[in-house]
Structure 1
Amino acid sequence: MSDDKIVATDILLEFLEVAFNQILFFRNLYPKEIFVKKKIYSICIYVSEHPELNEYIKNVLSAIRELVKEDENSVKTVNLVFYNKEKEPIEKFVFDLAKLQANSTEKDPYYLKTEESLRTICLKLSMCETYLKPLPEDSSFSIEIETYETAHVSLNENPHCEDFPWIINEDAPEMINKNLLPLKTIKTDCLNMQMYVIEDENKKCIN
């Protein structure tokens, strides 16, 4: 992997970690007390201090790094999915890395445009309570990586990920009453990503 690709991967993984924390904080899945304020992209964000949650996120990011190291195009999307108590998906934050072409990107040698875009996303995430219905009580979440079957096999054979096995989720239930909310598209020479939220308002109303 070239130095440029390594930097791009580091930028992506840093952002995913920030975004996961920001989403979990503002979707009120955990007590606010487990988060602390930190500064990144010239704004304040919230970061978990909960050991088990942090370990889970760390393992997810490690798996993504290993997949990208093998093949930079192996990760299609990364999804943070919320479920109601019936284990039905009700909300999905999608980090789409597959649908954007590498051409016609903005030159960004000092990563200024990339940082500005990531800052915009974080600010939009901090306002998610204004455009999404509240999550019901007893909600849970998981992080999914959409990839190829060959990539999944290599991931499970990778010694760096052997303590955190991934399973194929072929029968995952789909949201029926989808409401799609675009957040931001980034097309720079170091990061290509589209981020949006899919919400099932009807399922959120189930008690």
Structure 2
Amino acid sequence: MSKVALKGSSKLVSDYFEYALNNILYQRGIYPQEDFITVKKFDLPMIKCNDDDICKYIENIMIQIRKWIYSKRIEKFVIVIISKSNLDNIERWEFDVKSENEEIEKDQIETQKEIQTIIRQITSSVSYLPVLKDDDYTFNVLVYTDPNTSIPIEWIDTEGDGKILQGDNIDNVNFTSFSTKFHHVNTSVSYKYT
């Protein structure tokens, strides 16, 4: 296994997580529109935070995520949208990661096209997800790792608090998946509807 190829695959997956997180925060209106700028990534115009505090927070998350992806310790990256008024979990975006034990043949252009498709699906999801209104919302990032992974002190081990959405009014949408030579990523969103 080539360490260079594994590093490239890990960077691609972590970049996808970072831009998906930014896109979700923007599309769902968690922060004001003026806190974001448009940049080019994955050969697409992408949304990225422009607020120093938000950017620093996301970058600190991504530094550790990159390490876990490279060491094949990450199993799931989750973004939970939470109502500030009653602390209800409103949406749960899941990114399941499977690490391949062997390098598989995969064209980088094909992988980029798969990522483009998912980013477009995330962007278009606002057409069917319930409008977030009459409340302020925040988000929480959860990472599921191999049980033998040591957790840095900057991170809180929630010991299974998965912030699963509960109730009869829950729906789930699975998006297209993508794979690199070393990783396979599935993306989905669960949400409460009225």
Give the length in aligned residue pairs: 189
Deviation at 1:165, TM superposition (A): 3.0
Name the structure with the higher helix share.
1
User: Distance between the aligned counterparts of 1:26 and 1:3, measured in 2?
Assistant: 34
Aligned to 2:117: 120
Aligned pair 1:80/2:79, yes or no?
Answer: yes
Which deviates further from its counterpart, 26-35 or 38-47? 38-47
- What are the superposed Cα offsets for residues 2-27 of structure 1, whole Å, 9 maximum, x if unpaired? 11111111111111111111111111
Aligned to 1:205: none
Kept in 1, the 8 Å contact 2:100–2:181? The answer is: no
User: Distance between the aligned counterparts of 2:131 and 2:66, measured in 1?
Assistant: 32
Aligned pairs for 1:66-145 within 5 A: 66-69=67-70, 71-72=71-72, 74-84=73-83, 85-98=85-98, 107-109=105-107, 111-136=108-133, 137-145=135-143
Aligned pair 1:12/2:13, yes or no?
Answer: yes
Deviation at 1:135, TM superposition (A): 1.9
Kept in 2, the 8 Å contact 1:114–1:191? The answer is: no
Kept in 1, the 8 Å contact 2:151–2:157? The answer is: no
2:106 maps to a residue whose letter is D
Aligned pairs for 1:134-173 within 5 A: 134-136=131-133, 137-151=135-149, 154-156=150-152, 164-173=154-163
Q: What is the identity percentage for the equivalent residue pairs of Structure 1 and Structure 2?
A: 18
Deviation at 1:171, TM superposition (A): 3.9
Deviation at 1:189, TM superposition (A): 2.1
Aligned pair 1:179/2:171, yes or no?
Answer: yes
Aligned pairs for 1:20-35 within 5 A: 20-35=21-36
User: Distance between the aligned counterparts of 2:123 and 2:76, measured in 1?
Assistant: 22
Unaligned runs of 5+ in 1: 157-161, 203-207
Do the aligned partners of residues 48 and 149 (structure 1) sit closer, same or farther apart at CA in structure 2, a change above 3 Å counting?
Answer: same
Deviation at 1:150, TM superposition (A): 2.6
The 3-state SS of whatever aligns with 1:170 is coil
Deviation at 1:149, TM superposition (A): 3.7
2:125 maps to a residue whose letter is C
- What are the superposed Cα offsets for residues 175-201 of structure 1, whole Å, 9 maximum, x if unpaired? 123311011112342431111111122
2:9 maps to a residue whose letter is A
Kept in 2, the 8 Å contact 1:183–1:195? The answer is: yes
Unaligned runs of 5+ in 2: none
1:37 maps to a residue whose letter is T
Aligned to 1:52: 53
